[in-house]
Amino acid sequence: MRSRIAAIVLTLVVAASAQQAKNGAPAPAPVPEQIAKARTAFISNAGSDGAGVLYSGGDDRPYNQFYAAMKSWGRYELTPAPAGSDLVFELLFINPVLGFDVTGGSSGRALTDPQLRLAILDPSTHVVLWAFSEHVKQANKQATSDKNLDDAMARLLASVKDLAARH
């Protein structure tokens, strides 16, 4: 009996090892079925931690930009309310303070890490099905700051598209 159990365990270990990619990473886990099958989506603005100070277009810029890109993509029919939608895309812009640079004087300059965060939720259970974070490079000039936000948004959208394409 023990040898039979040992043989089964060994078979499972060998099968799991065979599924690993050549670089030693495990095989990709499945994408939640709801993401692959979804046809409708609601986009939620979960807030913006001072985006209007850092980027042109005001605090709603990340939401407006994400909404326009998702609409342009056309993969999902965007709905006006979460009820009845297959998915909820919850977008949040945060800019946490990591510390202070006091090398230039006693007052110090805040060191922050601006980020776009996107959670894909099941609208009926509110369970997060998938989540992404994209860091936005900081810059001293407004035009460069705006471009860096655009670049982070493009990376975020590429991640969503890659996920939706995996079945």
Q: Which domains does the chain have, with CATH numbers?
A: 30-165 (3.30.160)
**Does residue 15 surpass a pLDDT of 60?**
no
Q: For 96, left (φ over 0), alpha (ψ -120 to 50), or beta?
A: beta
Q: What is the mean pLDDT of residues 113-135?
A: 96
Q: Are 44 and 88 in contact (CB under 8 A)?
A: yes
Residue 162 pLDDT: 95
Residue 33's identity, in one-letter code, is: E
Q: Residue 110 and residue 98: Cα distance in Å, rounded?
A: 8
Answer whether 0.95 is exceeded by the pTM: no
Element containing residue 44 per DSSP (H, E)? strand 40-48
Mean pLDDT of 56-70: 95
Q: How far apart are CA 10 and CA 8, in angstroms?
A: 5
Mean confidence (pLDDT) of the chain = 86
pLDDT at residue number 47 = 93
What pLDDT was estimated at residue 20? 53
The reported pLDDT for the residue numbered 13 is: 45
**CB burial string 69-79: b at 16+ within 10 A, e below:** ebeeeeebeeb
- pLDDT of 91 reads 98
